[in-house]
Homo-oligomer: A and B are copies of this chain.
Amino acid sequence: MSIPAPLTGVVPPVCTPLTPDGEVDVPSLVALVDHLVTAGVHALFVLGSTSEAAYLTDARRRLVVETVAGHVAGQLPVLAGAIDMTTPRVLDHVASVTAAGADAVVTTAPYYARTHPAEIARHYRLLAARSPVPVLAYDLPVGVHSKLSAELVLELAADGTLSGLKDSSGDLGAFRSVVLGARARPDLAGFSVLTGSELIADSALAMGADGVVPGLGNVDPAGYVRLDRLCREGDWAGARAEQERLCALFGMVGAGDPARMGAGSSALGAFKAALHLRGVIACPLTAEPQVPLSEDEVERVGKYLAAAGLL
């Protein structure tokens, strides 16, 4: 299916449940998709950071897309990350995920390799020229170590290279520049501006963002669907209350001890522990070399769920 232009609403970055030996747990993945679709989300984003794409082998990545695209069978759009270091490697992923059924791809600027703004622009132009599906830029400075400027995003939108932006930079001021820049041009009416922030989804929607891609949306998809609806109805007080409830729930990402593990292990471990505690997935394991949460840390996750009325 083609993706809406613009793509709007709640687009959770789908966690990738794993078996105890690190393989994709297909039944749990299907159950998670059902959990999200039932809650009313508007599209799915697989193979992003929350999906642990960086930790999945090519075979596992393919299986994820096949599973999800096959299961939703066109009921709602499936976007897939094509996460790799440079153009030729990303193009291999584009071929793989589109063959497996993805409706659009989401890709970062080059990383690991030293880059230059001219090379980032060239990267996206080459990708767009060869991708059979729309390309959205993924702005993730914490991983990529460069920031996509609003100017570059709008330039690549205007020439048809990019169909949208998934912004995980945390910089809402720059994000707003893209929102306003896109709105100022009638030919960019279909350009999708999506935020990856869990904590300021209401702010992003209030300023005109098309949609939200919250990792926490795995744990509480109904919450983000409500938040999105309240924003579209202009009920800002209601939206703020719902957002604040989700902010409190998001505190779970700090469950892991920072002396023992990185922020990624803690956040992804918490999301998966929450999904396990809620009975959605069979095993809370995160991929290697991430450090698993301890029993005490899982218990802390449970307290966040309970406080939010989810357990």
Which A residues fall within an 8 A CB radius of B? 22, 49, 54-58, 60, 83, 85-89, 91-92, 110-116, 118-120, 122-123, 126, 142-145, 170-174, 176-177, 180, 197-200, 202-203, 206-207, 236, 240, 244, 247-248, 258-265, 287-291
Contacts and interface: CB of A to CB of B under 8 A. Distances in A.
A122 B291 contact: yes
A142 B173 CA distance: 15
Contacts of A199: 172-173, 176-177
Given A88-B56, A113-B143, A116-B261, A122 B288 contact: yes
B247 A176 contact: yes
User: How many copies of this chain sit in the oligomeric assembly?
Assistant: 4
Contacts of A173: 170, 197-200
27 contacts: A54-B85, A54-B113, A55-B89, A56-B88, A57-B89, A58-B58, A86-B288, A86-B289, A87-B289, A111-B111, A113-B264, A114-B142, A114-B264, A116-B261, A119-B290, A126-B288, A126-B289, A170-B172, A172-B172, A173-B199, A176-B199, A176-B247, A200-B207, A202-B207, A203-B206, A203-B207, A259-B259
Nearest to A254: B151
Contact of A57 (B57, B88, B206, B207): B88
B55 A92 contact: no
Nearest to A117: B262
A205 B260 CA distance: 37
Nearest to A110: B289
Contacts of A60: 88
A123 B291 CA distance: 10
A248 B262 CA distance: 32
Given A143-B113, A197-B173, A260 B290 contact: no
Contacts of A57: 88-89, 91-92
Given A85-B55, A206-B203, A263 B143 contact: no
A262 B114 contact: yes
A283 to B, nearest CB: 16
Given A114-B143, A172-B200, A206-B203, A55 B287 contact: no
Contacts of A122: 288-289, 291
Contacts of A247: 176-177, 180
Nearest to A143: B112
A88 B119 contact: no
A258 B265 CA distance: 22
A31 B203 CA distance: 36
Contacts of A202: 206-207
B289 A123 contact: yes
Contacts of A261: 116, 118-119
